[in-house]
Structure 1
């Protein structure tokens, strides 16, 4: 494969000497070659990041790129960076990665990724998707591996690239997302614990917004209504308890919307033929606004009947 090194170097020199930018025609005229060849060389330089292009109407103007030295970028990012050549051999690795692997640069440079099994490089997907990246397919994966007694979570991006000589290569951006995953697991575990506790409460409990729509209902409340907890979500409390389309004057929900203070009422739910004691408490945000309310319901029918007996 031709690499056009002389032509590419000449174009870079021309652009450097003309920092205000040049068109394909300008460059072709100065190099004394045809526009198609110049366009081909510029494509290589654009892909490899050596030039930048700005469109002004129908004209494309090319400028020398302002490039940060790769080694500097690699060593000051929090991600581990690997650059592979077209044979998937290690061409460059960032210093933070060498420190993580506890190896010298000479122990990895030039070795094929497929035969390098130190630390997380034993994950087979790294080499598999690196091969696909050579043909232009970018891929991001998340993998977990065991290091000593700890699980390590990684997010790995396989990015196709093209070198100065026009040859394909692959950049691996490897991010340690262990802290993120552990936080997600703690949140998930906390939610599961909350759900378990919420559903273990023998009293009927539901949470609703300021529009009387139920956001969450425990199993006791759903069982009382002979439905599933998820069937309560989105329903109005007065629909389920009273079989009506609007709230009543004795509704504790309407009361706490006005006072923002807890209240307890006893009502006869004719729709259910039950006497209920309903305690409602507002949910107040950090800004002092009421975002909803928590309701605890007790079936006091038997008590009412007992008291009413002569």
Structure 2
């Protein structure tokens, strides 16, 4: 039986038109009564629908939504109503909107229609929904003493007992309505503010016809708004430059929405007038231009100042040339002195390289420390290759360490008690020491240490010898 039902459903899905029982009997080679039983079972399940015209029945795939799937589709207040106009189930959002008692807040708790439903022909729309008509309408409803602006959608459903019903979904648009009203008020205030602006403001449609001009724009153009609106005019551009201005508008894209440019024309007093325009394009989510918004500012005084500045610059150029000649002579003398200093610096760098080469090529491990306030070595400021090799640290690692990082704590206390004080006498001291390698092993060392100064900075040089293998 299941196979026959599946075959009937597949056949109806592939058919563009409705079918009769006669067509199905011919298709499946069955008698009329057997096909009718299968069709009745599919109707009860809600898989197909039947429409009767006189004595003839027409079958098609059901366009109704199963009731069980409804609550998985909406996050708005929703309920399901049966043919007796009883609410057979509803979600928690519905209980909150219509303030149902807490004891009734179950997903399937049948109840009669709330009295709020008997407003604005909502019940009539529900009856039509039960009979298969989809409706969607904005309604004002008073619920618990509060007026709501609701978007109500009614959908025909097949209930679990294979009877017809409908689902009602309420979307609260009260806040949207308030925002829409606020937007209209804001637009009115915006226009009032823009009309009082000294700057020239206009809007243009995608075809560049003017859709809005403020008072300052009209006065500067010496025309009324009726003369300008719905026309493709550029009143502040010389006639021979109109095409160039239009091409500037066409350069506006979603990736380049703002352009600044200047225009020149002749004012009513016969003098040249310059305007600076800030042009912005507004686009749809699909990247299509919706509107151009341009703000113009008279920069004629600025242009005249630029001309005066140009004249002043010419008069100053002579003085600049004289001063340049004097500076060139001074620079020549300074360059000669710099060359002398560069030679001295080169010799110093060369000596430094020699000393580093000698230091790095000493076969014994050598370490150079800064001296702390108490006379003992502290931060490592230089280490030769032999020291890096025997301690197993890289050169950069050693320069980031202090003396206590490469010796044992026991030896460090012994050093402070027995040897550190001798540095106060600027003597070369020799003593046995213990070094700590990167792998944690200890090295018994024979250390020669001497303090000296570089400028005012006291430094300690330690040269070590490792007579035996690490322990």
Aligned to 1:267: 265
Aligned to 1:117: 115
Q: How far apart are the structure 2 equivalents of 1:171 and 1:285?
A: 41
Partner Cα distance (1:215, 1:256) in 2: 17
2:43 counterpart residue number:
44
Please provide the CA RMSD for this pair.
Answer: 5.2
Q: Compared with structure 1, are the counterparts of its residues 233 and 150 closer, same or farther at alpha carbon in structure 2 (3 Å cutoff)?
A: farther
1:35-59 CA-to-partner distances (Å, cap 9, x unmatched) read: 3x247526624xx53469xxxxxxx
CA, structure 1 residues 70+231, in 2 after alignment: closer, same or farther (shift >3 Å)? same
Question: In the TM superposition, what whole-angstrom CA distance separates every residue of 1:155-208 from its partner, at most 9, and x where no partner exists?
Answer: 111223455666543221222334444444444443333222222325432245
Aligned to 1:77: 74
C-alpha change, 1:186 and 1:85, in structure 2 (3 Å) is same
Tell me: CA distance 1:207–1:152, structure 2 relative to 1, closer, same or farther (3 Å): same
Secondary structure at the aligned position of 1:247 is classed as helix
Conserved in 2, the CA contact under 8 Å of 1:213 and 1:234? yes
Larger Rg: 2
Indicate conservation of the 8 Å contact 1:207/1:217, yes or no: yes
Residue 30 (structure 2) pairs with residue 33 (structure 1) = no
Secondary structure in structure 2 of the residue aligned to 1:236: coil
Could you tell me which residue of structure 1 aligns to residue 155 of structure 2? 159
Distance 1:225 1:175, change over 3 A: same
- Deviation readout 1:58-87 (Å, 9 max, x if unpaired): xxxx99x9xx98457526730222222223
Q: CA deviation at 1:139?
A: 1.4
Q: How far apart in 2 are the matches of 1:75 and 1:266? A: 64
Looking at structure 2, the residues matched to 197 and 171 of structure 1 have their Cα atoms a distance apart, in angstroms, of: 48
Shift in CA distance, 198/242, structure 1 to aligned 2, threshold 3 Å: same
Pairs within 5 Å for 1:241-280: 241=236, 244=239, 247=242, 262-264=260-262, 267-268=265-266, 276-280=273-277
Query: Paired residue for 1:282, among 257, 267, 279?
Result: 279
Aligned to 2:92: 95
TM-score by length of 2: 0.42
1:218 and 2:217 are equivalent in the alignment: no
CA gap of 1:164–1:101, structure 2 versus 1, over 3 A, is: closer
| SS of match in other structure, 2:190 | helix
Number of positions where the alignment pairs a residue of Structure 1 with one of Structure 2: 261
Q: Indicate the SS of the match to 1:235.
A: coil
Q: C-alpha distance in 2, partners of 1:209/1:162? A: 50
Unaligned runs of 5+ in 2: 12-23, 50-59, 253-257, 284-288, 301-471
Higher relative CO (Cα under 8 Å, sequence separation at least 6) belongs to 1
